[in-house]
């Protein structure tokens, strides 16, 4: 047999002819000895994977590769190197017939590729060593295995639908829960922890002011600060008090005592708050804050300022440190003057900052400032009246005085002064609480001879007397067990009505009252406003007292007509004379001119009560007769009221000497008084002055004080002097 050539033969197509070992078909780009290890689908060489093998006697026998019995872990990587094609898709291996001739090429089905998930497949059993069988016979005996299908995975669409249902169910559950929380359980959850997160700040409401008739402030509130201490945080009370004392004007010992730790009464809790000072000026409060004292702080406060000090203090009154009215108009109209505090509630963060939470809960109730009062008082006239009264009272000791100025026709009280007075900004500095009382409405006296104008007015109106009436007047008259005398005896002469008024005849007045009778006299006393409070507006105003006719004793027929056994206040008597000046029409005196709302709108005060007491003719006749009191001065005697005459003006009025009772006990001394009107021909103003003095000096003070007060009032309001400086001529003892 000729030797076998190692160079493969080529057929007509240029394909290499395999040697007796077999023929291998190569893909383009794959060939040569360098890639002798061509890879099968399982990553094995042809030799290993069962390619052509040498056989004895020219017969070809397939050899089962050892590596085919188990999975090859390198197969996936080798697939990538091989272009990603598996051995199953390559050209099949061609087996040549025995003897190395080029026969018909047939493709041998490759062994199914083991996938990674086939690792659980049992490896093929190893063959026992023995004689090799021809490849054709081995291939015939080994059954062709079908490639295993990969396990069927779950349908992704089913997974998507299931997941969608689960998500929808979850969101539906959450939505139902949210609706329940927002509608059913909202209040419980919202309020559950709200209290611990809320801060409450009180918004103070300014107290209304008190103005005079011109709009000048008599009392008003200004912003201030209060200084407080937490005794549990104050490290050294004494040292702290030494620093605060010069700024607060409070003794060191008092401040140190306030800052000492103490237990709240009835508890075991230590006190955490104590006032050190109220109404501190803002500038001083800033100085205190600059000291940065442990346990000491300041906060917003309100301070009541009284610009005039004692100006109308007995009238206005004062307030407490908490801005509550305690006396005077401040107490009477406290509900109107005090504002309604507001409140702001808001959520704050935790920690030391405690700052408001932006967008958090916030509720604000605005503060409502108090309304203000506009009084009928004229500040300038009030000041002058107080000054004149106090100057006159300086000549007396332990005395009480009152002065009232009323505008005729309107009933406006233009001035209402009291003595003694006090500084309303510091009401504690008084000798006695009685010094803070308003004497014009609380000073109850026997009016004395000023009451005679009521008796003569009633007699004129009832026709008991006329302006021309005259009759003999004795020096004395006895009623019951009391004898009444005149200070200017007539000695039985015929005396005119103006003469009786000028000399203040007790005997003549009692005789006229006998003709009038007690019932009619009491009726006119009530018409003139006696026996009940005037309702001027002052708190605690005394009403006085009238003696009922059925309680009159025999002496009452003599005492009541001349102003004894009658209790009245200076204001009541001033209002009675204002009725005479107002053509016989009584007008209730009042202090409140307007109520000013916080928005500035003015509401007039309640309309005064009015009623007719005398006819205009009788009122004019009575005024003319009362002029005799300030004008009669001749050989027959001097009138009792000459000291009250106002130069340039005609004045009608009456002097009085009465008694004072305190808690039913007669007090020593006398009450001197004078009430008059001017100009007498057409009165514009009524002035009343009352002075009680233990030494009886009241009469010497009242008339001169009236003259000065009335003179200033007429000039202040620019009232022209009387048309004639001469008053009518009065004949005291007509022939």
Catalogue the active-site residues. 449
690 within 8 A of 401, measured Cβ to Cβ: yes
- Residue 110 has phi, psi (to 5 degrees) of -70, 155
β-bridge mates for residue 690, sequence order: 402, 673
Inter-CA distances, 270 with 227, 442, 572, Å = 19, 46, 55
Q: Which of 115, 46, 50 is nearest to 79 (CA)?
A: 115
Structure tokens belonging to residue 130 = 């023995």
Q: What separation, in Å, do the N-terminal and C-terminal C-alpha atoms of the chain show?
A: 207
- Rounded Cα distance between 120 and 117, Å, is 7
Other C-beta atoms closer than 10 Å to the C-beta of 467 total: 15
- Rounded Cα distance between 32 and 21, Å, is 16
Q: Beta 372-375 vs 362-365: how paired, if at all? A: unpaired
Q: How far from the centroid of its chain's Cα atoms is residue 85's Cα?
A: 90
User: Radius of gyration of the chain from Cα atoms?
Assistant: 62
Other C-beta atoms closer than 10 Å to the C-beta of 555 total: 17
Q: Which of 34, 23, 138 is nearest to 91 (CA)?
A: 23
Q: Which of 567, 575, 486, 559 is nearest to 527 (CA)?
A: 575
- Rounded Cα distance between 85 and 75, Å, is 11
- Residue 674 has phi, psi (to 5 degrees) of -150, 130
- Rounded Cα distance between 728 and 387, Å, is 33
Mapped to the 3 state alphabet, what secondary structure does 551-614 carry?
HCCCCHHHHCCCCCCCEECHHHHHHHHHHHHCCCEEECCECEEEEECCCCCEEECCCCCEEECC
- Rounded Cα distance between 335 and 349, Å, is 38
Q: Which of 441, 401, 345, 368 is nearest to 206 (CA)?
A: 368
101 — alpha (psi -120 to 50), left (phi > 0) or beta? beta
- Rounded Cα distance between 204 and 48, Å, is 104
Tally of residues, the chain? 735
3-state DSSP helix/strand/coil percent for the chain, to nearest 5? Answer: 30, 20, 50
- Rounded Cα distance between 454 and 656, Å, is 13
- Residue 499 has phi, psi (to 5 degrees) of -65, -40
- Rounded Cα distance between 502 and 195, Å, is 80
């Amino acid at each position: 047999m000729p030797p076998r050539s190692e160079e493969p033969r080529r057929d007509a197509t240029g394909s290499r002819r395999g040697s007796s070992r077999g023929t291998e078909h190569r893909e383009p780009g794959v060939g040569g000895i360098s890639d002798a290890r061509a890879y099968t689908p399982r990553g094995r060489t042809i030799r290993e994977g069962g390619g052509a093998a040498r056989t004895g006697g020219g017969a070809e026998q397939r050899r089962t590769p050892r590596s085919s019995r188990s999975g090859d872990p390198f197969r996936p990587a080798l697939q990538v190197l091989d272009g990603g094609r598996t051995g199953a898709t390559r050209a099949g291996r061609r087996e040549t017939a025995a003897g190395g001739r080029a026969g018909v090429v047939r493709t041998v089905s490759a062994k199914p590729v083991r996938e990674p998930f086939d690792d659980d497949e049992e490896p093929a059993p190893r063959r026992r060593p023995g004689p090799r069988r021809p490849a054709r016979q081995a291939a015939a005996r080994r059954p062709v295995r079908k490639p295993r299908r990969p396990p069927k995975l779950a349908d992704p669409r089913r997974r998507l639908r299931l997941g969608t249902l689960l998500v929808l169910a979850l969101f539906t559950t959450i939505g139902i829960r949210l609706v329940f929380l927002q509608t059913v359980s909202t209040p419980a959850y919202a309020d559950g922890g709200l209290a611990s997160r809320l801060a409450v700040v009180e918004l103070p409401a300014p107290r209304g002011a008190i103005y005079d008739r011109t709009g000048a402030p008599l009392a008003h509130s200004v912003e201030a600060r209060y200084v407080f201490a937490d005794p549990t945080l104050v490290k050294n009370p004494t040292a702290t008090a030494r620093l605060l004392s010069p700024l607060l004007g409070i003794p060191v010992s008092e401040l140190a005592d306030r800052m000492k730790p103490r237990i709240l009464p009835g508890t075991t809790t230590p006190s955490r708050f104590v006032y050190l000072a109220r109404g501190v000026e803002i500038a001083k409060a800033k100085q205190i804050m600059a000291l940065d004292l442990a346990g000491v702080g300041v906060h917003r406060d309100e301070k009541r300022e009284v610009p005039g000090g004692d100006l109308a203090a007995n009238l206005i009154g004062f307030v407490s440190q908490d801005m509550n009215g305690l006396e005077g108009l401040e107490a009477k109209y406290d509900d109107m003057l005090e504002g309604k505090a507001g409140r702001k509630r808001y959520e704050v963060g935790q920690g030391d900052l405690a700052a408001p939470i932006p967008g958090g809960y916030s509720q604000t109730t605005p503060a409502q400032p108090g309304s203000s009062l506009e009084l009928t008082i004229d500040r300038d006239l009030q000041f002058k009246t107080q000054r004149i009264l106090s100057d006159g009272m300086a000549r007396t000791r332990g005395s009480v005085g009152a002065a009232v100025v009323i505008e005729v026709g309107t009933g406006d009280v233009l001035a209402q002064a009291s003595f003694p007075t006090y500084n309303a900004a510091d009401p504690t500095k008084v000798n006695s609480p009685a010094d803070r009382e308003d004497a014009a409405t609380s000073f109850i006296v026997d009016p004395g001879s000023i009451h005679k104008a009521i008796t003569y007015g009633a007699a004129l109106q009832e026709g008991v007397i006329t302006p021309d009436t005259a009759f003999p007047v004795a020096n004395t008259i006895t009623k019951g067990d009391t004898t009444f005398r005149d200070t200017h005896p007539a000695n039985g002469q015929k005396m005119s009505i103006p003469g009786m008024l000028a000399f203040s005849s007790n005997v003549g007045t009692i005789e006229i009252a006998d003709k009038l009778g007690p019932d009619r006299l009491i009726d006119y006393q009530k018409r003139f406003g006696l026996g009940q409070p005037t309702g001027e507006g002052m708190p605690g105003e005394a009403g006085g007292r009238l003696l009922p006719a059925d309680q009159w004793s025999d002496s009452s027929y003599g005492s009541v007509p001349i102003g004894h056994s009658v209790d009245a206040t200076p204001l009541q008597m001033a209002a009675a004379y204002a009725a005479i000046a107002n053509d016989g029409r009584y007008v209730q005196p009042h202090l409140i001119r307007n109520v000013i709302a916080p928005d500035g709108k003015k509401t007039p005060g309640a309309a005064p009560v009015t009623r007719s007491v005398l006819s205009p003719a009788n009122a004019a006749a009575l005024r003319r007769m009362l002029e005799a009191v300030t004008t009669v001065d001749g050989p027959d005697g001097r009138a009792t009221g000459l000291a009250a005459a106002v130069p340039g003006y005609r004045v009608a009025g009456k002097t009085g000497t009465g008694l004072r009772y305190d808690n039913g006990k007669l007090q020593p001394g006398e009450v001197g008084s004078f009430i008059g009107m001017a100009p007498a021909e057409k009165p514009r103003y009524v002035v009343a002055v009352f002075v009680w003095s233990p030494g009886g000096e009241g009469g010497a003070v009242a008339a001169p004080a009236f003259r000065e007060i009335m003179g200033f009032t007429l000039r202040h309001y620019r009232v022209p002097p009387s048309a004639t400086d001469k008053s009518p001529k009065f004949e005291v003892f007509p022939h």
